[in-house]
Amino acid sequence: MELNRTLILKAYKKAKKRILFLDYDGTLVPFSDLPGDSKLGKEIRNILINLSQDQKNRIYIISGRDRVFLTNQFRGLQIGLIAEHGYLVKEADRDWQMTVSLDNTWKITFSKLFQEFSLLYPGSFIEEKESSVAYHFRTADKKVGSKVRPDIRKYLIILQQQYPRLELLDGNKVYEIKPESFNKGKTASAILRKENFDFILAAGDDLTDEHLFAEFPHKAFTIKVGLPPTLAQFYISGQNEFIEFLKCL
C-alpha cells in the first residue's frame, strides 16, 4: 500500500530504541551513468547526521557498493555500513568484518565472460568487487539490456553446473553474479537478533532489497522506493519523495 506517513511517524515518536536500514542508489541518491558519480549530497548528509545524533537511533546504510566507496561517502558519520549486498559490515568506529567466508576462484570465469560482453557492447563495462562481479550497461545502447539478459542467463545455467551456489542479481541496468550464501536480508536479520528494537524500518528500490523485506519481522516498516510489485509493506513513488519522508523523521 502507499506509504502511511502518519502511522510511521507516530510509531517513530513513541519508540525508545530504533533501527533504520537504508539502501544507497535509488533510495538516498539518484542513479548516475557511472557508479562513481553517485555522490552523497550535502542535504542527505545533514539528514543522516541529524538522525544519527538522536541517541534512540541506529542507522545502517545497506548497499551493493564496495567498502571503499561507502567508507569515503560516509566518513565522519556515526552510522553502520553494510557493503556488497551483506558480505561486509562496518559498525560505527569499528573495522570492516566479513559475514561469511568465500572461495572466489569462480570470479575469473565470470570476469572473462563479462569482459566479452563489454567488448561486444560498447559503453558497457565490468566492476569487480571482493565478493562479486558486475556488468554495467547504463552507458551503453538502450537495446543492450534486452539483448544481454537472455545470453547472461544462458551462460549462467551452463556455468552453474560447475558453480552451483551462485546467483544472478538483476539490478537497475546492471547484472551481478555473487554467491547465494549472503544477502541483505540475512545480514540485517543477524544484526536484529542481537538486540531488541521497538521501531524497525528498511527502505530500498530494487530486487536485492526484496531479500531485506522478506526477512524482516511483521512489526517492521518496510518501504519500496518505487512502484509495486514488492514484498514491502509500503511503497513511495520515488527517491525525491523518500528524502522528503526522511526529513519528516
Chain segment 151-189, per-residue pLDDT in tens: 888 887 888 788 889 988 888 888 899 999 999 999 999
Cβ atoms within 10 A of the Cβ of 31, count? 15
Mean pLDDT check: name the lowest of 26-30, 99-103, 139-143, 199-203: 139-143
CB 67 within 8 A of CB 90: yes
- Left (φ > 0), alpha (ψ -120 to 50) or beta: where does 192 sit? alpha
Give the pLDDT score at 230: 96
Is residue 103 annotated as a catalytic residue, yes or no?
Answer: no
Superfamily name and number for 5-100+182-248: HAD superfamily/HAD-like (3.40.50.1000)
CATH architecture of the domain covering 107-179: 2-Layer Sandwich (3.30)
From 23, 25, 206, 209, active-site residue: 23
**In which residue are the cell numbers 563495462 written?**
125
* Rounded CA separation 172/187 (Å): 22
CB 38 within 8 A of CB 31: yes
CB 156 within 8 A of CB 168: yes
Query: For the chain, what are the domain ranges?
Result: 5-100+182-248, 107-179
Question: For 186-237, what is each residue's pLDDT tens digit?
Answer: 999 999 999 999 999 999 999 899 999 999 999 999 999 999 999 999 999 9
